Chains A and B, each alone.
Chain A
């Protein structure tokens, strides 16, 4: 019984810790974002002194009342604090340019920052603001589930339109860690 109690507290604790980390970090990131904007929007303002990332964009989903800051670099470390931009994919500002099949990817944890992806539906509209103040409106065009090694969607295809992808792990609320499937929300600029 004591074991169960300890286990329970431990599980609860680590769960709450993860949640708290993701939520609280957003406050610091928001501060960094503001400070960046007041400085002209082109600085790399770190949310805390040892951070190796900085906010690069703000994502707003009016329908779900969501406001998330997107960090630079989707490493495991950064993802614990917030959704992050996957560096090897196309630059976010490039998506607004002419249609040349560019794809950008933003990833986030499915229990915290990107848990809301489950509620997004095809046709939903959201807004992405870059540090420069540049705003882009996106509409969800497709939602699908892929294998983690399937990066074909990131390949430039000159004939296709530019796409922004939001991605998180699938299934949501999985008990097993290291799932191999990804929930991929495809959206196009409108």
Chain B
């Protein structure tokens, strides 16, 4: 009894420290769940539904010119005995323009409509209450979307088709596209078979089997049919030297000159990461410029003409003999999230950058976590002595604490600048920040003549944040995914830093009339970066002139508009880019008076694209004759987490229960024993 009382009082004492410890522990466990795509299930009768709704995904891609048009087909199948609603959070590529929703019930197809978000939500809720089948697609962030499907009758399925388009990326004479696969394969049984450890591990795997099959032959099928697939029609327009998919096995079929059909190979590698496809034109056929133009439907008086312009400025435009002295400010994120390999990568990258400095340059290193620290008060010349000192400083950096990115920007951007210096800020972070919008505003308002280059570090950096920060900061974004990439990626960045950029880019027609182009302003172009602009053509325009300022004076390129086909994909890109620019610069001084929300809403409605203020809604008007519909109550149930959704991130798997206390006690005792033996031995020697 005494021990019990003692123990209790001791526990009281321990409480505060326990509290702190557990707080830290719980935060680290929950942090990994943030914003991860997940399937949340709701049972209309308030019952717990764990695996009632099954999702299979399929993607069809059509690549033509610079645009990739994708149909993502999500099939929600309800295997529960009650009707349910399903809600699904999924990623799409950055800056993708979602422009169509189609709901399929049996043979019927219902076209979705674009509506103002709050109206669409109201319609959806009403339909849900009335027991109608409905689907709603909204944009959560620029690259995260939510689809909701209401009233899936028991045993039936509802399919929705979401169409989006993206502009291809062209860098280093190579086209590439990225499709976030990470969500889909979780539900994809076939891919689970590759890793022996995981063969039976995927929660939704067994449920993927069609219900009819199980009922027909009472036998469990050990190899569920593969419901996800990826089909790509690539119309490159030129012969390709190479098509690669670095992370997946693909089957490529060359059906015509410049035309290819690509499929995921059936026995492919584990599809647990983003799908990436890269292709290169044949040697000597490197693309220098491209113009694609389209006119919208309607008679000649009403239709609008749009063009998509890509231009790769010749390397000579960036090269120069005389160099402005530079002031390089390296800002390195030493917050807790960088701990481990990210920090090591950042340090390596920093060492490479330091080695590249010339004596006439000056530099400084700033680290930030909860507080901001720096190598020196002001930038110092890159002398041997200073560089050695800097290397020591970098070597001793340690990742710990919070991410007070705003403080770092305040320190960096409000520092005094010497006008005859080219001031470049190289910002290395994993970008795990909450208040993105404020940071964008801060950069925009305090940038001055600084140029901001962001370097994304680690396996899952917030690339959306860093790409936009670089856009506003008029620099470039470099992504370092793993150790093997550090050298090559940093070399490209250092080359970009050394060579002056192509600035003040704009477009005009042959009569020097200005044009309505987006993004606006066009980000400065650095070495090996292409210009990619969507533009609304003036009446009867025949030529697009790109003008800008290079180190040699004025840069000018004339591009001819050839044939104009009917279509609206380019107009959508134009609208998407305009929305992006409007939102990005919405709170700056000169734009404050305009009503951004209204502008974005009008654009999105006119061009039928998803935006923060619009949503796609489809409601079935067919008869309601299923049982259990409509339900009185919608109970939100947390679906069981799909297992092993990424092999890299822990926290989704079964609870971690390995305590090491016994081993720690043993180890501790052993060490103490060693110390005791040592002292005994010492004192023995003394007495002898």
A residues with a Cβ closer than 8 A to B are 1, 4-5, 7-25, 27-28, 48, 50, 74-77, 79-80, 84, 86-88, 91, 105, 107-112, 114-115, 147-152, 154-156, 167-169, 173-175, 177-180, 182
Contacts and interface: CB of A to CB of B under 8 A. Distances in A.
A173 B662 contact: yes
B654 A5 contact: no
Nearest to B27: A77
B640 A149 contact: no
Interface of B: 4, 7-8, 10-11, 14-15, 18-19, 21-23, 25-26, 28-30, 48, 50-51, 197-198, 200-203, 205-207, 638-641, 643-644, 647, 650, 652-672, 674-675, 678
Given A24-B11, A76-B26, A107-B655, A175 B672 contact: no
B664 A154 contact: no
A156 B667 contact: no
Nearest to B679: A1
B659 A109 contact: yes
A84 to B, nearest CB: 8
A150 B655 contact: no
A14 B665 CA distance: 8
A111 B661 contact: yes
Contacts of A11: 664-665, 667-668, 671
B655 A15 contact: no
Contacts of A167: 654-655, 657
Contacts of B19: 50
Nearest to A184: B654
A177 B10 CA distance: 28
A63 to B, nearest CB: 22
B668 A15 contact: yes
Given A24-B7, A149-B198, 14 more contacts: A1-B675, A8-B670, A9-B668, A11-B665, A21-B14, A23-B7, A75-B29, A76-B25, A91-B48, A107-B654, A110-B659, A168-B657, A177-B658, A179-B658
A15 B665 contact: yes
Given A150-B643, A154-B640, A14 B664 contact: yes
Contact of A14 (B51, B643, B657, B661): B661
B675 A152 contact: no
Contacts of B670: 8
Contacts of B658: 109-111, 168-169, 174, 177-179
A4 B198 CA distance: 41
**Residue of A4, A48, A84, A155 with most chain B CB atoms under a 10 A cut-off:** A155
Contacts of B21: 80
Contacts of B48: 91
A5 B672 contact: yes
Contact of A88 (B205, B641, B661, B664): B641
B26 A27 contact: no
B51 A76 contact: no
B22 to A, nearest CB: 4
A151 B662 contact: no
B26 A15 contact: no
A24 B10 contact: yes
Contact of A5 (B51, B202, B647, B675): B675
Nearest to A76: B29
**Residue of B650, B655, B668 with most chain A CB atoms under a 10 A cut-off:** B655
B135 to A, nearest CB: 26
Contacts of B28: 76
Contacts of B198: 147, 149-150
B86 to A, nearest CB: 17
20 contacts: A5-B672, A8-B674, A11-B665, A11-B667, A12-B664, A12-B668, A12-B669, A75-B26, A79-B656, A80-B21, A80-B22, A86-B655, A107-B655, A108-B657, A147-B198, A149-B643, A152-B202, A167-B655, A177-B658, A180-B197
